[in-house]
């Protein structure tokens, strides 16, 4: 299928769904001053073309007792893309990318436990072409992936959409399980929302064999407890964001929390993590091109006190992000959703 060209209404719709992925078409239409049925047709067209998909970001405690590990891989005797294709067959890989810099490959491992994390990293050493593995365990993480905003809307529109979601500060992500084990109905709804976070409570109830009233109640609980956070996925390049990047920052002692908070507030960033390394903060983000990245480093980043040195890598290819395979030609592919504990 030929990829549709994005017009202004498409971009505004995508901007709205980044902020309120489960909002009704009527609500979005009222805020964007657009016809609800037109918006639904637009979304269906983009979804069928594998341009967009609304999935669910599971709370870490739903699928792991461990924090993720950011991994940089050096290679020998092989091309980076050849090794990347082999890495795709390994389990528990949330992200895979070819990057610039000393280490040509970058991955994020998020396994169900510390033991499974160790095993997953150990298996990387056995992949032909891998010469060295530099693992940076996350100590704390501010997640932005599901709240990243391409800035396609006015401030008023953004505020109105955020009201629909009851948006709350993200805070620090942890791998803490729910206080009480989930019921079978709750586990079923969590699994359904991870796969399709725009699914209605009624359709989830039918698929799960739940009464409609029960499905509505359980879906509301799952979302209110933030066990699943809906997020819109798209191939970023199709929106005009051609340059994903990684920052590794050496920060003055005691300044890490404030540096992470400030980075988390920048619209260009998707994630900020405190990692166990000589470079104590790792951040990822998106900008339109390399000139915009230079301006971001020299203007936005340079204003943050406490940063001693900065290492910048550009993601040259990103065939998997947040468990979802993606391709610049064919679009969004297989979703390797983590298994619930």
Judge whether 186 lies within some domain.
Answer: yes
**215 inside domain:** yes
The pLDDT tens digits of the residues spanning 177-191 come to: 888 889 999 999 999
Question: Which tokens in the block code for residue 8?
Answer: 């202004």
- Confirm whether 185 is domain-assigned: yes
The count of structural domains within the chain is: 1
- 101: in domain: no
pLDDT value at residue 143: 65
Domain contains 190: yes
Domain-located, residue 33? no
Domain span at residue 189 reads 179-226
Q: Which CATH number characterizes residue 195's domain?
A: 1.10.10
Work out the widest C-alpha separation in the chain, in whole angstroms: 59
Give me the pLDDT at residue 3, please: 74
Q: What is the mean pLDDT of the chain?
A: 93
What is the 3-class SS of 140-186, one letter each residue? EEEECCCCCCCCCCCHHHHHHHHHHHCCCCCCEECCCCCCCCCCHHH
Q: What is the pLDDT of residue 129?
A: 97
Matching residue, tokens 């359980």 = 218
Q: pLDDT value at position 174?
A: 77
Question: What are the residue ranges in the chain where pLDDT is below 50?
Answer: none
How confident is the model at residue 31, as a pLDDT? Answer: 97
Q: What integer pLDDT is reported at residue 88 of this predicted model?
A: 94
23-31: list long-range contacts, CB under 8 Å, 24+ apart. Answer: 23/161, 23/164, 23/165, 27/164, 28/161, 31/157, 31/160, 31/161
- How far from each other are the two terminal CA atoms of the chain, in whole angstroms? 37
């Amino acid at each position: 299928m030929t990829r549709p060209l994005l017009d202004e209404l498409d971009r505004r719709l995508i901007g709205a769904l980044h902020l309120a992925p489960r909002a009704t078409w009527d609500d979005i239409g009222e805020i964007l001053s657009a016809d609800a049925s037109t918006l639904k047709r637009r979304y269906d067209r983009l979804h069928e073309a594998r341009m967009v998909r609304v999935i669910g970001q599971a709370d870490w405690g739903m699928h792991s007792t461990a924090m993720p590990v950011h991994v940089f891989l050096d290679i020998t005797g092989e091309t980076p893309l050849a090794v990347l294709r082999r890495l795709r067959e390994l389990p528990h890989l949330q992200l895979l990318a070819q990057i610039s810099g000393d280490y040509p490959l970058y991955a994020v491992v998020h396994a169900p436990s510390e033991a499974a994390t160790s095993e997953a990293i150990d298996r990387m050493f056995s992949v032909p072409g891998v010469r060295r593995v530099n693992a940076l365990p996350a100590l704390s993480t501010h997640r932005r992936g599901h709240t990243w905003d391409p800035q396609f809307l006015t401030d008023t529109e953004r505020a109105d959409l955020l009201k629909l979601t009851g948006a709350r500060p993200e805070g620090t992500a942890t791998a803490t399980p729910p206080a009480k084990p989930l019921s079978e109905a709750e586990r079923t709804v969590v699994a359904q929302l991870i796969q399709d976070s725009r699914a209605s409570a009624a359709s989830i109830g039918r698929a799960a064999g739940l009464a409609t009233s029960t499905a509505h109640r359980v879906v509301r609980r799952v979302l209110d407890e933030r066990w699943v956070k809906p997020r819109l996925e798209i191939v970023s390049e199709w929106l005009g964001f051609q340059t994903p990047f990684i920052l590794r920052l050496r920060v003055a002692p005691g300044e890490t929390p404030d540096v992470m908070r400030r980075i988390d507030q920048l619209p260009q960033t998707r994630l900020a993590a405190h990692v166990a390394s000589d470079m104590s903060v790792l951040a990822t983000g998106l900008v339109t091109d390399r000139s915009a990245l230079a301006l971001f480093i020299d203007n936005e980043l340079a204003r943050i006190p406490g940063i001693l040195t900065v290492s910048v890598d550009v993601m040259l290819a990103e065939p998997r992000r947040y468990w979802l395979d993606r391709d610049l030609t064919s679009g969004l592919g297989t979703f390797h959703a983590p298994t619930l504990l």
